Every structure is written in structure tokens, then in C-alpha cells.
Structure 1
Amino acid sequence: MKEVVMMRNKGEDNEGNLVSEKENDSVDRRTGIKDKTQFASAKSVSSLQWKRPSHSHLESEGSPKSNPNERPPIDKRRERNLRKPNGVIPIRKQKNFALGVKFHNGTEDLLEAGLDNPDLGPFLLKQTRDLISSGENPQKALELALRAVKSFEITGNGKPNLDLVMCLHVIAAIYCSLGQYDEAIPSLERSIEIPVIEEGQNHALAKFVGCMQLGDTYAMIGQIENSILCYTAGLEIQRQVLGEMDTRFGETCRYLAEAHVQALQFDEAEKLCQMALNIHKKNGTPASLEEAADRRLMALICDSKGDYEAALEHYVLAGMAMAANGQEIDVASIDCSIGDTYLSLARYDEAVFSYQKALTVFKSTKGENHPTVASVFVRLADLYNKVGKLRESKSYCENALRLYAKPNPGIPSEEIASGLIDISAIFESMNELEQALKLLQKALKIYSNAPGQQSTIAGIEAQMGVIYYMMGNYSASYNSFSSAISKLRASGEKKSAFLGIALNQMGLACVQRYAIGEAAELFEEARSILEKEYGPCHPDTLGIYSNLAGTYDAMGRLEDAIEILEYVVGVREEKLGTANPDVDDEKRRLTELLTEAGRVRSRKSRSLQTFLDTNPQTTINDAIKVL
């Protein structure tokens, strides 16, 4: 999830740095992007800035010396209850003798008949902010804010009212803090409609904040596509008002790029991240933490696209900038990422050196029992597993599990779950399926049904479906895939490549359960998705074609099966050559079908497995990855 922070002019800038995908407590394990949402209450649009810290940044810790005028965030994913932060002066009970009847807490209330009083809306909004700051009774704060909206509507005379916009933002933030995200969305949509950009920067800023906060809310409920649309609208507002060379525009470019990375849309993310880097270059500023964050994100994008050399270059530059600014822990996190890239390049000795270097820093700064240390153990276990040193790999896995079993107080449970998923993948590759399944079940229990984690939960369930399939428990595999796919559909990932692959694997489970008709429907849907996402010549798409051909043949649709296999054989011959074993296998299958087409009456009954893509377990294991 991402965050919109509306900062006061007098408040300090809580800018930080992009965090490691396994080091920080709330990092998305697919992308390395921090996963936290903040909404700040606002006093007025004129007191806000365009400044927006990236959701991939570390946040500075609150302290008793914090500016008491700066309002704290009122919503975090893992902190549903409002609480009083450090450095906030207790709010005194106030009176306004002109307003009438008293509340129980000693402040003054107005009867419904007084909603046309122009002083009532600002008064109620102030009372709302005071309750939020004190961390007391969020439900009462919501009631006050809703009354303030009514007052602003009555006294606004139909004109765009920025106080009303701010009140709607606060209402949405309270709903989010209560976990009622669906209730927050209508308020934010309305807040976006009210401001008129032509009226000046204050109106533009109000519309911008509404777009970004709405995007955050969609992301919290897993609707990444809608989230990206909102962020894009916010970026366009900044483009119109600030221009493309403003540093604040660059920060929002990075923000949107990170959202695209979470959606696995790496080309779009790369363009936006490059725009942010170009702004740094144009302004000629020395290596800053902001530029380091941009370079680190670009490295992550390059790594995800398989351009490992470019990723290394960006990681090294980011590490140098972090070191120049005294960010020792961030340098260690980057060393872990560099180790991951070396591992992808099969440069194992250099990867071990990078991991050990990071491990030394984490042990000295965080303690030897910190989960961050365990995350490095997992990386080393993965490396030794890949080079065939299974004893060393298991030893590191056991050390990591020991630390995850007794985490330090205050460690987010999601960080533990992420580590368990990684270790499960290692045990699965060792063919220790029971142990891998147990770890996934523990991770699933930790995530439960947390908002904004539906895609992650779906990934875990899909991987469990893979393991059940490999164990021969096809009914359990089918149920796991069914649950995962329903979550992916509900979260808006109706056309993602991951959904297509999951549908294919569920189709294979249906084949094993002799549900041939359902298998064909699943293969057809998977084909339509991967044709759009990957193209018709991608190996994953061809694998689905092959499975669909076998299913059609089992259903008696011989001509359809022949047509598909002819295409698959033609593409494989063009891409792999005629002597490739995969081509020979499918040519043999095609020959058998053509022979049968010429002798329909003497057709032999054969198992559907003969026509399915060879070694489906390997296909599943390689295809499904936990999000």
C-alpha cells in the first residue's frame, strides 16, 4: 500500500529511504516496496504542501521534541485503533458559549436547527481533529465530521468549498482507521469532484490529495488497477500545475512507479522512474537520499526484467549515496539486493560476500536475534541450495526458523510470514513437501484475511495447490486453486498473468479429477489471458495451448485439437529448431491425432495424460510464485 501524507508548512519533512524487500517490517515481498498507508488530518488546503514522501521510504521516529502543530497520521494498516502519538500536547476541553447545549465532555453542541450557522462547520471539524489527535473515541470523531459536512453543505451556497473537501478527507481517513474501506471510497470520490483546478493551486492541491488518498484506499483493499488510475490522475494534476521538472512531480513519479511494480507492470514503472532520475539530473543536485531511492527502485525494476548488469550499476550508485549520507542499515539492505543480483548471474562467491557483509551490519545494529538477520540466513540457504550444498542450506533454514519462532517484540507478523514463505520454497525445491506445506499453512494463518493482503494470500494458496498436486492430493489442490482464484478475481486481478497461470494449474487438477469439461473452460480462460499478457508465442502460452489440445481430444473435438497442435508445433520448430526434444514430442502427438482423424472408426481409447503437456508438475512448480 501507498501513503498520502498531507504535510503542514511548519512540519518537519519525514523523508526517508527506499527499504530492502526483506529488511523492512512492512515490505511487499514481490517488489521490495514498503507496504504502509498513512492519512493525515488537515486543517485547510492553504496550509498543505505538494510534498509527498514516497511509500517506499523509511519514516522518521516520533519524539517528544516533535512539532506539536503537526498532526499525526490517523490510519495504518496494522494499527486499527487510533492512538495518541509522542509529542502531541493533550487537547484541553473547550467551550464556545455562543453555540448552545453542552456535550458530555464539556464542549458545546448545536442542535440540528443550527446547522446553517457558518461557524459550526469549522468548529465541528476542529473537534474532530482534537479527538483524532487524542486517540480517543474514533466513532465520536466520525459523528462530528459527518455533522460538519452537513453544515458545510448548507452554508456553502453550492460553491466549491475547500473546508468541505478537507472534511471529506478526514471522514475517509477515519473510516479507513476503522477498517471500513468501502465506506471511505464515496467520500473521497466526492472530494475529488468539488475542487476546480482553474480556481488556483489550493483547489488543485485538494483534488490531488483526494486522488492520491483514494488510490491508497483502493490499494488497501487490493484493487491495484483502480489504485493506479487514481495515482495517474494525481500525477497529471501535478504536471499541469507544477510542470515536469519540479522535484515534487518527480516524487510522485516514483510513487506511481512503485505502484506499477506492485502490479508487475515493469515497463510503465521504468518510464516513470527514469523521469524521476532525469529531474535529479536536470536540477544538478548532489547525490541525495531521494535520488538513492529512485536508483534503488530502478535497480529493482531492471532486476525484475532480467537486466542484471544494469541493476547492479544502479544498486552500487544507490549504495554510494546512502553511505555518503551515513545510512549504514540502508547500505546493508542494498548489499542484500546486490547479493540477490549476483545470485541471478550465478556469481555465487560475490553473492556470499555481499550477504555476509550485510549480515555483519545487521547483527551489530539490530541484534543477532532480529528477523532481518533471519532474512539473510534465508538468502544464504537459497544460494547453497542452488549450488547443491544441501547440508549448509538446511542449516541456514533451521537458524532462520529458530529466529522466526521467537521474534523480538514489535516485529510485524507479516515479516515473519514472508520469511516462512521463502523457506517453504527452499524445502519444496528439496522435495520435502510436507515441511514446505506446513510452513505455508503457518504463513497463511498469520496473514489471515488482513485487508490489502488478498493477493498475497491468493499466492500462498496457489503455492499450496502446487504442493498438493505434487503430493497427489488433487481434491485439496483443486480447492486451494479455487480459493486463490476467487480472491484474485475479487481483488481486481481479472486479467493478470498470475491469474492465467493459476487457471491453467487448476485445469490440470480438474483433469486428474476427471472433470474434463471444467478443465477445458479453465484452459480457455487461461489462454485468453496469457495471449494478451504474454503473446501467443510465449512458452507459458504454448504450454496452455498444448493442454487445451489434449482436453479437446478427450472431449471428441479432434479437429480443434489438431488445429491447436499444428500451431504449437510450428511455433516450437521456429523458436527451438526441429531437433529439440520438446518439438519431437509434440510432433509425435500431432502425428497420432492426424492418423486418428483419417481412421475415425478405429480410434483407440487413450488416457488424457497422453495428450497433456509433459511433466505438468514441473510446469506448475515453475509457474506459480507467491505474490
Structure 2
Amino acid sequence: MEFDEAEKLCQKSLEIHREHKAPASIEEAADRRLMALIYEAKEDYESALEELVLASMVMIAAGQENEVAAIDVSIGNIYMSLCRFDEAIFSYQKALTVFKSTRGDDHPAVALVYNRLADVYCKTGKLRESRSYCDNALRIFSKPVTGAAAEEIASGLTEISAIYEALNEHGEALKILHMAMKLVKDTPGQHSMVAGIEAQLGLMFYKVGKYGEARGSFENAVAKLRASGDAKSVFFGILLNHLGLVSVQLYRIEEAAELFEGAREILEQECGSCHSDTLGVYSNLAATYDALGRVEDATVILEYILKLREEKLGTANPEVADEKKRLAVLLKEAGRARIRKGNSLVNLLDPARRG
């Protein structure tokens, strides 16, 4: 996840290609696709798009039809991130035509493009088209071709489930997640994927108010990530936050506070104090401290959040106004005025725990 370092190394690789290889080689195209992934991860979508277009031109010249289609899918993904939905649909349709022609109508690659199209149409409010593409993808994944990797099918099913969830078809979404789980639960080396499916199950249960089931799914995901050595990842921190929210719903407030504290520690380390995910955990922790009667601790956190939001969004932003209202209530309980230049949250945290 060290994307700046990855970008430097990939740039060096591209420089070597320019110096020692023929122009526009297939190897250079592969590195441009890698650079596009790095830019996408850094949310520099325009630069990612440029690299993908250059890679596509090389593959077209080399007659690599399937590789061009795969790049078209990646280009569609970038257009989605830029909310350029018509262009995304065009890129996905190009890829779909090629994959159907070269791999057959029932190949998983075709189903994955159906997933992308379903997502586009869901986001643009064309729910009938979205449902149709979901159904087509599910038909393929339910009867996969021989030799298809179980994790690839499970990943596709997980994507379909998320779209059905967005379409408010929670029962269908849960059924599909269980199909995905069945495919990979006993597959060696797939702890992280299984944990991801467990986490999505937990979210589904949470949304429909089945908090006991949600807690069980989240706890299973936490246990799997700990077993696979992923207990310091961003995903793990977010998972602890979700488990904390479930604990709140089950009135296990002290347990929730511990989980939020664990999530805060990880996300501070991995994302920084100003990241939106970290700020969300701070807010949850402040509310939990308030519920436990730790008004002073809650106030310090909210003051810190408010300061950051004012700096980033401006004092007139609705989110800032909401934070001010929450803080005013706590300050009234604490019997003091807002400290504009008091201790920051960084001073509140135990340095030994922040690591």
C-alpha cells in the first residue's frame, strides 16, 4: 500500500523500457497498466486513464484482442470513478463484445463485465437494466465453465450481491453471499477473501436489523484476519468499527468503546488522523464516551473533529454545523465554553498505543 514508492519504481521501469527496448513493447504496456493501478489507488484518475489508453494502443498494434478488452474494462472502471457513465458503458460494451466472441457467452469474463454494466445502470437509476445484467451474470456464475478459479467466481458473486443490496433485494443478496462463501470457505490461502464475504454478510444483517447475526459474521471475519496476519490493515480497522456499531445496537457500550479505540489506533496508523474513515471512528468513539458518561473525553474528540472539518470544509458547511451542535450539547453538560485552542486529540491518545 506504499503507492508513492510503487510509483517511483514503476516510473524507473518505464524509463528502462524507453532506453533499452523497442518503442511501445508489450512489456512496456504491462508496466503502464501497473502504473494505471497505482494512479487509480491514489485517486489520480486522469493519469490512470492516460496510461491505460497508451497500453491499449500497444496491444491493438500487437493484435492482442483479449488484452485490449481487459484494458477496456479497466478504462470503464476509471470512467465510473469520474462519473462519466456513458463512456464507461461504451468501454464495457466493447469489452463484452470481444469476450463473447473469443471466450463464449458463458465465460466468467463475460459475467464480470455484466457485473460492471449492472453497477453502472444501478448508479444511474436504470434499475430494470441493472437487474437484467445481474441475472445474466448470476446465470453464468451458477454454472461456471470447467477450470474457472473458485475465488474468481466467488469474487463475481460478491459483486452481484452488492448490486442486489443496492436494489433493496436483501434476501437475494444474502443468498448469493452464501453461495460465494460455500465456494471458498475450505480453499487454502483464502482467509482474506472469506473474511471479506463474512464482513459483507455482517453489513447485510446489520442493515436489516439482525444485529446478533451481524455480530457473529463480523467476529468470524475478525478471527480470520487475525489468523492470516492482517490484523493491522485498513480493512481490519474498518471491520472493528462495524463491530463496534453492532455492539452499540446490542447495548454493549463498553465493548463498543474498546472496539472503536482499536479501530482508531489502526486507522490513525494506516490512514492518518485527518482521513475520513478515521474521523468517522473518532465520531463514533465520542458518542460512545458520551453514553458512558465520559463527557470530557467525548468533548475533546469532538473539538478535534470540528477543528479539522472547519479547516477542510469551511465554517458554513452543514457537516460542520452538525458537529457544532453536538459539541454545544456536550459543552453544556460539561459546564464550560468551547476551547478553540485546547488540547488536540493527539495529546489525548496514549503514545504507546499509537505506535
TM above 0.5, one fold? yes
Displacement after TM superposition at 1:274 (Å): 1.6
Displacement after TM superposition at 1:285 (Å): 2.5
User: 2-side partners of 1:266 and 1:483: how far apart?
Assistant: 30
Change (3 A) 1:268 1:428: farther
Displacement after TM superposition at 1:491 (Å): 1.6
Q: Deviations over 1:341-379 (max 9, x none)?
A: 112222222222211111111111111121211111111
User: 2-side partners of 1:294 and 1:465: how far apart?
Assistant: 37
- Segments of structure 1 that go 5 or more residues without pairing to the other structure are 1-263, 600-627
User: 1-side partners of 2:5 and 2:235: how far apart?
Assistant: 18
Aligned residues: 336
User: 1-side partners of 2:34 and 2:276: how far apart?
Assistant: 28
> Which of residues 162, 173, 177 is equivalent to 1:425?
162
> Could you say what the CA RMSD is over the residues aligned between the two structures, in angstroms?
1.5
Change (3 A) 1:576 1:305: same
User: 2-side partners of 1:342 and 1:516: how far apart?
Assistant: 42
- Whether 2:183 is the aligned partner of 1:446: answer yes
Calculate percent identity across the aligned residue pairs: 64
Counterpart residue number, 1:485: 222
2:145 counterpart SS class: coil
User: 2-side partners of 1:571 and 1:415: how far apart?
Assistant: 41
User: 1-side partners of 2:17 and 2:297: how far apart?
Assistant: 56
Letter in 2 for 1:543: G
- Segments of structure 2 that go 5 or more residues without pairing to the other structure are 337-355
1:568 counterpart SS class: helix
Q: Deviations over 1:425-484 (max 9, x none)?
A: 111112222211111111111111322211111111111111111111111111111111
> Which of residues 336, 341, 350 is equivalent to 2:87?
350
User: 1-side partners of 2:158 and 2:3: how far apart?
Assistant: 24
> Which of residues 520, 526, 533 is equivalent to 2:270?
533
List, as ranges, runs of 4+ consecutive aligned residues in structure 1 with deviation greater than 4 Å: none
Pairing of 1:35-184 with structure 2 (within 5 A): none
Counterpart residue number, 2:61: 324
Displacement after TM superposition at 1:413 (Å): 2.2
- Whether 2:150 is the aligned partner of 1:416: answer no
Counterpart residue number, 2:206: 469
Choose 1 or 2 for highest CA Rg.
1
Displacement after TM superposition at 1:269 (Å): 2.3
Displacement after TM superposition at 1:420 (Å): 0.6
Counterpart residue number, 2:22: 285
Counterpart residue number, 2:344: none
More helix by share: 2
Change (3 A) 1:433 1:265: farther
> Which of residues 586, 599, 603 is equivalent to 2:323?
586
User: 1-side partners of 2:60 and 2:281: how far apart?
Assistant: 48
1:388 counterpart SS class: coil
> Which of residues 379, 382, 404 is equivalent to 2:119?
382
User: 2-side partners of 1:356 and 1:460: how far apart?
Assistant: 28
1:352 counterpart SS class: helix
Q: Deviations over 1:395-414 (max 9, x none)?
A: 11111111112222222222
User: 1-side partners of 2:100 and 2:58: how far apart?
Assistant: 22
Displacement after TM superposition at 1:338 (Å): 1.0
User: 1-side partners of 2:112 and 2:236: how far apart?
Assistant: 28
2:148 counterpart SS class: coil
> Which of residues 171, 183, 187 is equivalent to 1:434?
171
Higher relative contact order (CA 8 A, sep 6+): 1
Displacement after TM superposition at 1:301 (Å): 1.5
User: 1-side partners of 2:201 and 2:96: how far apart?
Assistant: 31
Counterpart residue number, 1:362: 99
Counterpart residue number, 2:33: 296
Letter in 1 for 2:14: L
Change (3 A) 1:268 1:431: farther
Displacement after TM superposition at 1:331 (Å): 0.9
Counterpart residue number, 1:407: 144
Displacement after TM superposition at 1:271 (Å): 2.2
More moved, 576-585 vs 505-514: 576-585
Counterpart residue number, 1:496: 233
User: 2-side partners of 1:279 and 1:486: how far apart?
Assistant: 44
Counterpart residue number, 1:219: none
Q: Deviations over 1:465-515 (max 9, x none)?
A: 111111111111111111111211222222211111111110010111111
Letter in 1 for 2:80: L
- Whether 2:5 is the aligned partner of 1:268: answer yes
User: 1-side partners of 2:186 and 2:257: how far apart?
Assistant: 31
1:547 counterpart SS class: helix
Displacement after TM superposition at 1:284 (Å): 4.2
